[in-house]
């Protein structure tokens, strides 16, 4: 299986599918891994693109490092992968925490290799409520996730999959198999990595990163997202990015790569090929 070695020696797993078409790199949400994007990767590769997806450090098949479970290192690991594969004219696509990772990559490493960005149900600009971000979510929300992670993370992941992640508590038609896949991927994440990543996705302020994005960006967000509410995520990101197009999925949940698979694939392909 292919790995790239990060600056501190961590091994970062990645998939590299398809032929010689323009490259698309897909970054996954917490606490999942590259498999969360496998349907989109297959679709894009079958439509002529080179589809790449990696397991963030601590997640899936990548090294479970004690340190580096924060956004600066995630973005630097992504830079290692992009440089290793010598990717140019690249479209970066990030779901949830992955949206923060790709925005932070541009903030720290620039957009010289990047043609376009897509933020899907993404955590930017800032999830946590602060004095200068009063519209965010209270710290108690994230402390509750941390408590669940620490006490019984297997049940936490089942509760997320059976409830708000896919909107299953709102009668969204999502199969038991998809919910089981969420649990399986989540349990492959290292316990410390999963715990520390909660702070990374909730408390990192991506507003300076969004101000540096200078490539066309597609923002896709469901207006019934119970994990990253539309008003906290997609609506505000679209306001802060200069060349952004906002697509709102009516009644859309957080897990759009599964709940709105066909529509999302079509929108991704249309944006990438435009």
CA dihedral sign of residues 251, 249, 59, 199:
negative
β strands within the chain, DSSP E: 3-5, 11-17, 23-27, 50-54, 90-95, 114-120, 217-222, 244-249
Dist. CA 118–CA 135, nearest whole Å: 23
Residue pair 31/62 in contact (Cβ under 8 Å)? The answer is: no
What does DSSP assign to residue 160? Answer: H
Residues recognised as catalytic: 96, 225, 254
Residue pair 114/75 in contact (Cβ under 8 Å)? The answer is: no
Please report, for residues 136, 174, 220, 233, 239, the alpha-carbon distance to residue 205 in angstroms, rounded to integers and kept in the order given: 11, 32, 20, 12, 15
Q: What is the DSSP string of 7-29?
A: TTS-EEEEEEESSSS-EEEEE--
Contacts of residue 144, defined as CB under 8 A and 6 or more positions apart, other chains included, come to: none
Determine the straight-line distance between the first and last CA of the chain, rounded to whole angstroms. Answer: 33
């Amino acid at each position: 299986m292919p790995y790239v070695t990060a600056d501190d020696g961590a091994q970062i797993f990645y998939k590299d599918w398809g032929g010689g078409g323009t490259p698309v790199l897909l970054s996954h949400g917490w606490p999942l891994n590259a498999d969360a994007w496998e349907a989109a990767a297959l679709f894009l590769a079958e439509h002529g693109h080179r589809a790449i997806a990696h397991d963030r450090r601590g997640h899936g098949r990548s090294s479970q490092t004690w340190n580096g479970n924060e956004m600066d290192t995630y973005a630097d690991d992504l830079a290692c992968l992009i440089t290793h594969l010598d990717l140019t004219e690249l479209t970066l696509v990030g779901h949830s925490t992955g949206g923060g990772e790709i925005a932070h990559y541009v903030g720290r490493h620039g957009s010289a290799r990047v043609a376009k960005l897509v933020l899907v149900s993404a955590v930017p600009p800032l999830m946590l409520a602060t004095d200068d971000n009063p519209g965010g979510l209270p710290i108690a929300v994230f402390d509750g996730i941390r408590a669940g992670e620490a006490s019984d993370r297997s049940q936490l992941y089942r509760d997320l999959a059976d409830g708000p992640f896919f909107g299953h508590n709102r009668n969204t038609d999502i199969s038991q198999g998809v919910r089981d896949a969420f649990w399986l991927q989540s349990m492959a994440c290292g316990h410390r990595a999963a715990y520390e990543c909660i702070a990374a996705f909730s408390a990192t302020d991506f507003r300076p990163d969004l101000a540096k994005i200078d490539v066309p960006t597609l923002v896709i967000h469901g207006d019934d997202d119970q994990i990253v509410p539309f008003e906290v995520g997609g609506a505000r990101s679209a306001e802060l990015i200069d060349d952004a197009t906002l697509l709102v999925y009516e009644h859309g949940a957080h897990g759009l790569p599964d709940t709105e698979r066909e529509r999302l694939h079509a929108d991704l392909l249309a944006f990438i090929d435009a």
